Each structure stands twice: as structure tokens, then as C-alpha cells.
């Protein structure tokens, strides 16, 4: 046979391999094919092709493997069990950039499913190889490596620590400064995943100088980048006061408030999350946020959005109000209470209602002025209803009761307390009656109103154990009124009057 015919055989084989690998890669993009492919044993066929001499076939087979592993964790486990990872890790260091991208893609697809798989990736030395590829020139390679690192670090603190120990953080911070937007996004998301587990990790991220670069990207027009940036900043600032202060020192206020009007929903949610994490630490930080008008912006945001994304905003208002009564008054003055009342009535999910109820408790518990502002929004009957409703979750009931108690202990606005007299259970009723007994002895108009609105009647109908605190309060209320009135309103008065008729002997008794 001539040389050319011999070579032709080889060419045919190469073409066949190329075609196979490309078709498999294309088929793997569609989820319905993957089951069939798996049953046909594609893993064992793709594995030797990873070692093929032709680089295109190597790259395409790595890509196909990545797509398969991406789909579900059984396949990812099969990739791990098939000892493919060490080969990939080795070639990450050696091959050209297309192969590196594909290999990083496979590592990412494997690591994203569970911590054990991510640990497997780490165990075969994937971290060092990925960190080395972070130093490449090609932005696509950097992006793939950063993505893989982010997915590894996402699962738990132990893995994040491993990623940090491999020296990834300074390189990720360098990646953030690159001009390509996609690379910035992925690097920001990876930093966010690293910093979220513990304060030490967040401190490592901050020490690499991430905050300055992240804060420069706040006003970038790309929405997905902004999502990741705000998420990263909030993960950093949530751990401790120092970290939150460092984030604030990067002069994010008031430019952050502009992003509260971004068309993208998740950007807005992440901004409110960041504000919540900042305000929850100390009164000074909350004061800073309030002074820049952050509270008003968040209240407007609550008015515009629906559903679960309201939660961070509500919690932020609660945290701000919790620190001091000045700040609670600032929330009231910024028209927060009507907005929260709207949220309470509109939302159906229990955890959001619980957060709103908690926020109300924090606002109203400081002084009678605050309690009056909360009561004026007709919130107290709603809180009572939530407490009494058997459908509410336990958490919601506990929070409603706590909020109700703390507001009632300061509430002196009697018209708002009256509806509660009729419906409240005894443990709440005790507080209501106590408030009445505190206010009524001093205010004559209130006494008159109390009688005419039927409150006194209701109080007489309350059955309390003799010697209990409730009875004492009822007595002190009764002492504010003349005896005839108290007797008039006591239950069964008409019967006693009728009995007197029976006993009465008329004076001119002409006995027959």
C-alpha cells in the first residue's frame, strides 16, 4: 500500500473522532439527550479522547464532559470516579487557552453540585491549577477559572479557606480591575462567595483591597455586575462592625441610593440587603444611613416592589428603629409606618409578615409618641389578628405577641386601645387594661369618652381572678368613676333592679 493510502486511514479515523466528539458536545446542550447519552456509556468513550493528540478533539471532548457534568450530580460523580480530574488538572497547566477554558468548565461543573464533589476537586490539586490559570492573559481563561473557584468556595467555610490558602484572593481582585465586564462579574461573584462564610475570610478579602474596586463599580451600567458587586459588599459587611465601617468609608453613600431605582429587580434587592447589613451593627452607622436619606429611599422602594424582595428593606427599617428612639422617630417621620402597614396587609408569606411585625415592634416600643404613631396606622388590631389566627406560623405568633406587648406598654392613645378590649385574650388584655388604668385617673375627657364608647361596660364584663393584677387594674379603673355608674354598667344590673321590684312593698298598701 502506498504511503498516501496508509495516511488516509489515519485521516479518516481522525475525522470520525472529531465528528463524534462535536456531535456529542452539541447533543449535551439539550437536557433530553443526556439520559440517552449516559445510558450509551458516553463517559467511558470520552475519557480516552481527552488524551487525544489532536488538540481540537481534546478541547471538544472536555467541553462535552463539562456539559454532561453540569447537568446533574450523578454524572459529576461519574466524572470524579473515572479519575478524569487529575488529567484535567495536569493539562490545565500545560495546554493552550481553549483547552484551559474547557478544563476549567469541567471543574466548575463538577464542583457546583455538592461539597463532597468540590472537595474531590480540591483534593486532586485543582485549586493550584485554577489559581495559576487566573494569571493567564486571556480573559476567557480567567473567567472560567474564577467561576470554578467561586463555585468551590460557595459550599462551606472549609472550602473557602482552602481557596484562600491557595492564594486566589489577590488574583481575583486583579481580575475585578480588568476591562471585560463578564470577567468582572464572575470575579465579584467569587469574592462574594468567599467572604460570606466567616469574618476571617471577609477580612482576607478586604485586606486584598477589594472594597475600593468594588465600590468603583457601583455606578457601572451593567446590571448583572451591579448585582454581584452589591452582593459581595453585603457579604463583607455583614460580619462585624469594623468591616461594615470599612465598606461605608469607601463612600458608597449616597450613590448607592441611585441604584435603588435601577430597572433590574435583583440589583435593588441587593442594595437593600447591603443597607440592612450596614445598619444592623451600631447606631452610628444607622445614623449615617438616615442622614443621607437612605430611609426615605428604602421606603419608596418598598412601595414599588412586590413579594419576597421586600424582606431586606423591612428588616433594614426594623434595625434602624431598634437602635434608639431618635432613629425610630426618623423612620416615623419619613412615612415608614403607613408603608409598613401596606406591606403587612399585602404580603401573604409568613416570614415577611413576621419581619414586618417585628419592625413595628421595634418602632413602637420606645416612647408613647412612637406607640401613638404606630397605633394611628390601625396596626394594633392587625397584630392582634395575626396573633390569634391559628393559621399563622409559630414564629409569626411569637413575634406578634412580643410586638403587641412592647407597643402596648407605651401606648397611651386610648381610642386605638379600645378595639383591643373586645377581642384580646387575657394575657394581652391585662396590658390593655393596665394602660387604661394608668391614663384614666388623670384625664376627665378620656373618662367620659371611655364610658360613652362602651369601654367601661366591657371592663365590667371581664372576669378576673381575685387578687390578680388584672383585678387590681379593674379596681383602679372603677375607682375613677362614681359608684352608681359602675353599678349601672356592671353585668346583671337589670336583673338586680328587677329583683328590687319584687322585694318592694308599696307605701299605701290597701290590703284586700
Partner 1 sequence: MARLVKLQNEIERIKEKYFTRNRFAEENRQRENEAAIKIQSWFRGWQVRAYLSHLHWKATIIQKIWRGFRARARFRQTVKAVYFIMKMNFYHKMSVRIQRRWRGYYVRKYVHNYYARRRYMEGLIRKNEEIRRDLVDFSEFQRREREQIAMDREEQKKTVQAQRMHFLLSTKQCPGVFNSPFKPEPDEMELRLRRTKPQPPTASPRERDSRLGNRIPSTHSSASIARAHGAQPLPPIPIKKPQGPFREAAEVWAQRHRSLEPSLRVQTSITDLEEAQDQLRLEEWRNRTVDTLFQPFSKAHQNRRYERMIHTSSSFQPVPYGNKHFREERPDNLLGKKPLQRASSRLCNTHLRTAYTLPRTHQHIMEMPMWPAWSASHSTKT
Binding site for partner 1 (CB under 8 A): 18, 21-22, 25-26, 56, 59-60, 63, 97-98, 101-102, 138-140, 143, 180, 182, 254, 257-258, 260-261, 263, 290-293, 295-297, 300, 326, 329-330, 333-334
For partner 1, which is the closer residue by CB, 18 or 490?
A: 18
Q: Smallest distance from the beta carbon of 20 to partner 1, in angstroms? A: 11
Evaluate whether 82 touches 44 at the Cβ level (below 8 Å): yes
Q: Smallest distance from the beta carbon of 258 to partner 1, in angstroms? A: 6
Q: What whole-number distance in Å separates Cα of residue 433 and Cα of residue 445?
A: 18
Q: Smallest distance from the beta carbon of 295 to partner 1, in angstroms? A: 7
For partner 1, which is the closer residue by CB, 144 or 152?
A: 144
Q: Smallest distance from the beta carbon of 180 to partner 1, in angstroms? A: 7
Q: Smallest distance from the beta carbon of 78 to partner 1, in angstroms? A: 23
Q: Smallest distance from the beta carbon of 296 to partner 1, in angstroms? A: 4
DSSP string covering 52-107: -SSHHHHHHHHHHHHHHHHH-HHHHHHHHHTTHHHHHHHHHHHS-HHHHHHHHHHH
For partner 1, which is the closer residue by CB, 332 or 408?
A: 332
For partner 1, which is the closer residue by CB, 17 or 447?
A: 17
Where do the H-state alpha helices sit in 2-54? 3-27, 31-39, 42-49
39: exposed, middle or buried (Cβ count in 10 Å: 0-12, 13-18, 19+): exposed
For partner 1, which is the closer residue by CB, 140 or 209?
A: 140
For partner 1, which is the closer residue by CB, 142 or 382?
A: 142
Question: CA of 289: how far to CAs of 210, 238, 281, in Å?
Answer: 22, 15, 12
Terminal-residue alpha carbon distance, the chain: 153
**SS3 of residue 510 by DSSP:** coil
Q: Smallest distance from the beta carbon of 334 to partner 1, in angstroms? A: 5
Name all contacts of 348-352 with Cβ < 8 Å and 24+ positions apart: 349/308, 350/392, 350/393, 350/395, 350/396, 351/311, 351/395, 352/308, 352/310, 352/311, 352/314
Q: What whole-number distance in Å separates Cα of residue 380 and Cα of residue 427?
A: 15
Question: CA of 393: how far to CAs of 147, 353, 381, 389, 441, in Å?
Answer: 39, 10, 18, 9, 39
For partner 1, which is the closer residue by CB, 179 or 482?
A: 179
Q: Smallest distance from the beta carbon of 113 to partner 1, in angstroms? A: 24
Q: What whole-number distance in Å separates Cα of residue 239 and Cα of residue 246?
A: 12
Residue closest to 118 by CA, chosen among 146, 172, 78, 77: 77
For partner 1, which is the closer residue by CB, 60 or 478?
A: 60
For partner 1, which is the closer residue by CB, 98 or 358?
A: 98
Residue closest to 103 by CA, chosen among 81, 119, 79: 79
Residue that the C-alpha cell 354598667 belongs to: 489
Find the helix or strand (DSSP H, E) in which 383 lies.
helix 380-388
Q: Smallest distance from the beta carbon of 390 to partner 1, in angstroms? A: 40
Amino acid at each position: 500500500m502506498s504511503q498516501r493510502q496508509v495516511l488516509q486511514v489515519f485521516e479518516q479515523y481522525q475525522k470520525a473522532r472529531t465528528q463524534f466528539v462535536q456531535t456529542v458536545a452539541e447533543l449535551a446542550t439539550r437536557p433530553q439527550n443526556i439520559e440517552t447519552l449516559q445510558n450509551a456509556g458516553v463517559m467511558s468513550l470520552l475519557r480516552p479522547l481527552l488524551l487525544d493528540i489532536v488538540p481540537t478533539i481534546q478541547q471538544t471532548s472536555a467541553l462535552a464532559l463539562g456539559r454532561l457534568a453540569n447537568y446533574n450530580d450523578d454524572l459529576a460523580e461519574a466524572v470524579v470516579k473515572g479519575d478524569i480530574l487529575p488529567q484535567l488538572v495536569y493539562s490545565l497547566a500545560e495546554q493552550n487557552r481553549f483547552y484551559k477554558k474547557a478544563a476549567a468548565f469541567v471543574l466548575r461543573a463538577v464542583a457546583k453540585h455538592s461539597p463532597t464533589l468540590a472537595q474531590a476537586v480540591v483534593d486532586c490539586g485543582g485549586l493550584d491549577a485554577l489559581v495559576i490559570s487566573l494569571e493567564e492573559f486571556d480573559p476567557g481563561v480567567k473567567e472560567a477559572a474564577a467561576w470554578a473557584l467561586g463555585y468551590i468556595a460557595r459550599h462551606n467555610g472549609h472550602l473557602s479557606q482552602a481557596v484562600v490558602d491557595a492564594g486566589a484572593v489577590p488574583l481575583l481582585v486583579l481580575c475585578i480591575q480588568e476591562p471585560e465586564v463578564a470577567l468582572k462579574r464572575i470575579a465579584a461573584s467569587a469574592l462574594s462567595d468567599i467572604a460570606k462564610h466567616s469574618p476571617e475570610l471577609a477580612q482576607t478579602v478586604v485586606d486584598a483591597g477589594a472594597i475600593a474596586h468594588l465600590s468603583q463599580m457601583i455606578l457601572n451600567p451593567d446590571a448583572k455586575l451591579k448585582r454581584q458587586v452589591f452582593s459581595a459588599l453585603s457579604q463583607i459587611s455583614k460580619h462585624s462592625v469594623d468591616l461594615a465601617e470599612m465598606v461605608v468609608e469607601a463612600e458608597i453613600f449616597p450613590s448607592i441610593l441611585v441604584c435603588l431605582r435601577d430597572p433590574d429587580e435583583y440589583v435593588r434587592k441587593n442594595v437593600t440587603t447591603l443597607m440592612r447589613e450596614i445598619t444592623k451593627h451600631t447606631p452610628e452607622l444607622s445614623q449615617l444611613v438616615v442622614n443621607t436619606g437612605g430611609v426615605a429611599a428604602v421606603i419608596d422602594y418598598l412601595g414599588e416592589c412586590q413579594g419576597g424582595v421586600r424582606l431586606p428593606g423591612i428588616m433594614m427599617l426594623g434595625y434602624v428603629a431598634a437602635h434608639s428612639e431618635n432613629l425610630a422617630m426618623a423612620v416615623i417621620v419619613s412615612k415608614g409606618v403607613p408603608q409598613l402597614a401596606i406591606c403587612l396587609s399585602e404580603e401573604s408569606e409568613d416570614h415577611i409578615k413576621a419581619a414586618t411585625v417585628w419592625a413595628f415592634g421595634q418602632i413602637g416600643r420606645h416612647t408613647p409618641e412612637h406607640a401613638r404613631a404606630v397605633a394611628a396606622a390601625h396596626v394594633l388590631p392587625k397584630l392582634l389578628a395575626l396573633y390569634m389566627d391559628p393559621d399563622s406560623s409559630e414564629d409569626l405568633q411569637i413575634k406578634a405577641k412580643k410586638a403587641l406587648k412592647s407597643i402596648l406598654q407605651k401606648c397611651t392613645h386610648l381610642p386605638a386601645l379600645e378595639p383591643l378590649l373586645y377581642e384580646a385574650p387575657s394575657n394581652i388584655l391585662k396590658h390593655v387594661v393596665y394602660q387604661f388604668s394608668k391614663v384614666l385617673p388623670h384625664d376627665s375627657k378620656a373618662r367620659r369618652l371611655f364610658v360613652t364608647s362602651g369601654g367601661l361596660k366591657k371592663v365590667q364584663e371581664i372576669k378576673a381572678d381575685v387578687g390578680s393584677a388584672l383585678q387590681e387594674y379593674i379596681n383602679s379603673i372603677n375607682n375613677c368613676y362614681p359608684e352608681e355608674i359602675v353599678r349601672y354598667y356592671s353585668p346583671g344590673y337589670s336583673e338586680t333592679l328587677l329583683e328590687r321590684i319584687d322585694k318592694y312593698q308599696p307605701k299605701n298598701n290597701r290590703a284586700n
